[in-house]
Amino acid sequence: MPELAAEAGITVRTLRFYRERKLIPPPRREGRVAWYNEHHLARLHTIAALLERGHTLGGIAELLSAFESGRDVGELLGLEDTIVAPWSEETPVRLTPEELADHFSGDVTVENLATSLDIGYLAVDGDEFVHISRRLLDASTELVAAGVPLAAVLDAGRQVRVHADALADIFTTLIRTHVLSDVLDRAADGRPPGPREVDRIAETMEKLRPLSKGVLEAELSMAMDRRTRRELDHWLGTREPGGADAGTHTDTTGKPDAGGGNGAPGSDPAPGDRD
């Protein structure tokens, strides 16, 4: 019990009080020894989070009872699930080491595995790997199949992550500063938001989800248009309007002449060379 209380950041007395109020499930007992596990610790973290949001212990007991009986806790929490629900819609993918190697055609090196784990693309679960996103896995596989080294793909992914974090910061700062400043300032002063303010936060977050995705998709699409046009203009700038390479000479008949000269490629043979 002291170890569990220490991990949860509470006193043993508080832990006993939670047990008496049946806020946490009873431990598994072997004789006189009580065994707690990660589920008890997760429950304590949940209780702490709800207390910070202004819920009473009685209300928390009702929520936890509803959870254990299979009722929709989201209904009791109002819109709390909407606030904390993840924005991404990514589907993790479980892979055996063999399946991971099949995706990247022998490019799965120790260095690339270490980078993938460091970025967070991969996690280890028993004898399998879990990739964080089906879409990212498919994109990485396609790029490697197209000839891009996996190390370069992972480096690009790390750079994209930095820019994505910066973009997310722009949006959250915008909303925090100009839309929810009053609510968040009160919360910072130790006054947790009430039901009406929770509704307002949830509504704002719901509006921000499609708004931010739409802005980023539009800006990225237009940026790709600008960049591909520049690349195309640069490539076409090395060619003549008729399609011949820059620097290629054209004779009076309009046929390209790569430089002329006896025996030179592209030139007419000298009279003495004719059959």
* pLDDT computed for residue 64 by the predictor: 64
DSSP assigned state of 185: H
Q: Which residue has the higher pLDDT, 37 or 246?
A: 37
Cα–Cα distance list, 100 to 27, 105, 117, 151 (Å): 40, 9, 13, 15
- Asked whether the predicted pLDDT for residue 27 surpasses 70, the reply is yes
Residues 231 and 126 in one domain: yes
Q: Which residue has the higher pLDDT, 251 or 95?
A: 95
Across the range 56-67, mean pLDDT stands at 68
Question: Does residue 208 lie in a domain region?
Answer: yes
Residues 70 and 110 in one domain: no
Question: Does residue 257 lie in a domain region?
Answer: no
Residues 104 and 225 in one domain: yes
Query: If we measure between CA atoms, which residue out of 19, 21, 20, 2 comes closest to residue 11?
Result: 2
Residues 128 and 163 in one domain: yes
User: Read out DSSP for 110-150?
Assistant: HHHHHHHHHHTSEEEETTEEEES-HHHHHHHHHHHHTT--H
For residue 9, name the pLDDT band (cuts at 50, 70, 90).
confident
* pLDDT computed for residue 85 by the predictor: 55
Domain that holds residue 109: 93-235
For 152, phi then psi, to 5°, come to: -70, -40
Question: Does residue 212 lie in a domain region?
Answer: yes
For residue 148, name the pLDDT band (cuts at 50, 70, 90).
very high
- Asked whether the predicted pLDDT for residue 154 surpasses 60, the reply is yes
Residues 142 and 205 in one domain: yes
Query: If we measure between CA atoms, which residue out of 95, 93, 105 comes closest to residue 127?
Result: 95
Residues 56 and 137 in one domain: no
Residues 103 and 220 in one domain: yes
Query: If we measure between CA atoms, which residue out of 90, 105, 96, 86 comes closest to residue 135?
Result: 90
Question: Does residue 126 lie in a domain region?
Answer: yes
The SS3 assignment for 245 reads strand
Residues 146 and 67 in one domain: no
The CATH code of the domain that includes 29 is 1.10.1660.10
* pLDDT computed for residue 192 by the predictor: 67
Residues 47 and 172 in one domain: no
* pLDDT computed for residue 259 by the predictor: 45
Asked whether 60 and 50 are in contact (CB, 8 A), the reply is: yes
Residue type, 50: L
Asked whether 216 and 167 are in contact (CB, 8 A), the reply is: yes
Per mean pLDDT, which of 38-47, 136-145, 171-180 is the most reliable? 136-145
Asked whether 117 and 123 are in contact (CB, 8 A), the reply is: yes
* pLDDT computed for residue 138 by the predictor: 95
45-49, 109-113, 170-174: segment of lowest average pLDDT? 45-49
Per mean pLDDT, which of 1-15, 137-151, 164-178 is the most reliable? 137-151
Q: Which residue has the higher pLDDT, 129 or 253?
A: 129
Question: What's the distance, CA 1 to chain centroid?
Answer: 37
Question: What's the distance, CA 133 to chain centroid?
Answer: 8
* pLDDT computed for residue 7 by the predictor: 81
Residue ending a domain, among 77, 112, 137, is: 77
Q: What is the pLDDT of residues 170-213, one digit of tens each?
A: 988 888 888 888 877 776 666 766 777 777 877 888 888 888 88
Find the farthest-apart pair of alpha carbons in the chain and give their distance in angstroms, rounded.
111
Across the range 129-154, mean pLDDT stands at 94
Mean model confidence pLDDT for the chain: 76
- Asked whether the predicted pLDDT for residue 250 surpasses 50, the reply is no
For residue 92, name the pLDDT band (cuts at 50, 70, 90).
very high
61-70, 182-191, 219-228: segment of lowest average pLDDT? 61-70
Question: What is the total count of domains within the chain?
Answer: 2
Residue found by looking up tokens 């936890």 in the block = 64
Q: Which residue has the higher pLDDT, 8 or 72?
A: 8
- Asked whether the predicted pLDDT for residue 155 surpasses 90, the reply is yes
Asked whether 1 and 10 are in contact (CB, 8 A), the reply is: no
Residues 142 and 222 in one domain: yes
Nearest-angstrom CA–CA distance, 90 and 138: 12
Residues 123 and 224 in one domain: yes
